[in-house]
A = this chain, B = another copy of it.
């Protein structure tokens, strides 16, 4: 590590004024030079969406006059924010991108719906070490204090060790007091899914509409999963990749009669 402060890009999906990102910025200011490029409004569950059929706005703003970071509010998705930061705003490739702290879990299959993690993955695609942080509390009044020490330690480890090409970290933090958190656990993504339900209603004009609701079902009993870690008081850290190839199935597929 050079003695120069690392350049850290901070983003999220709950929007630039969410308490979770404010807590993350505070911790990052203790470690590096911070630039924030985050959505101007909540972008939860946006997955890896990007804005190609619409215009994007991105404006410098000051949210905290006392704080040292530069901040930009962007009309796009979390992935748009990362692209905008690296191509338009930052003076050089950042040393790290952190996303979050998300209000709510991104464990198990949630990683694929998550705007928080998609921002981290986008940074990873661009060759930037990246981490997504989430706290298991959906409330806007969630208490991020207990998370700070752990976030700082994980970030310091990533800066010291780097991350291999093609891998970002998905960190989920249980909603517990600091002393009740048992530490971190390296995990695999639990094989869990959502069983959706649609709440059907009729609008004042007589047209039916729906709200998406659902129940999270974890049938994975493994003690090496993120779900197990979180339920047992640990912070889960899942190394997450974006090569989606199921390499182990290539040979089998070659036996199919696909060229008849």
Residues of A participating in the B interface, judged by any CB pair closer than 8 Å? 42, 44-53, 55-59, 79-80, 83-84, 86-88, 109, 111-113, 118, 121, 125-126, 153-154, 157, 161, 164, 166-167, 170, 183-184, 186-189, 191, 193, 196-198, 200, 203, 207-212, 237-247, 249-250, 253-254, 256-260
Task: Assess whether B47 is in contact with A52, with CB atoms less than 8 Å apart.
Answer: no
Return the contact of A184 from the options B51, B58, B259 (Cβ within 8 A): B259
Return the contact of A189 from the options B55, B153, B245 (Cβ within 8 A): B245
Chain B: which residue is nearest A183 at the CB level?
A: B259
Give bound CA distance, A88 to B212, whole Å: 11
Task: Assess whether A250 is in contact with B244, with CB atoms less than 8 Å apart.
Answer: no
A253: chain B residues at CB < 8 Å are: 186, 237, 239
Nearest CB of B to A254, in Å: 5
Nearest CB of B to A179, in Å: 14
A53: chain B residues at CB < 8 Å are: 42, 44-45
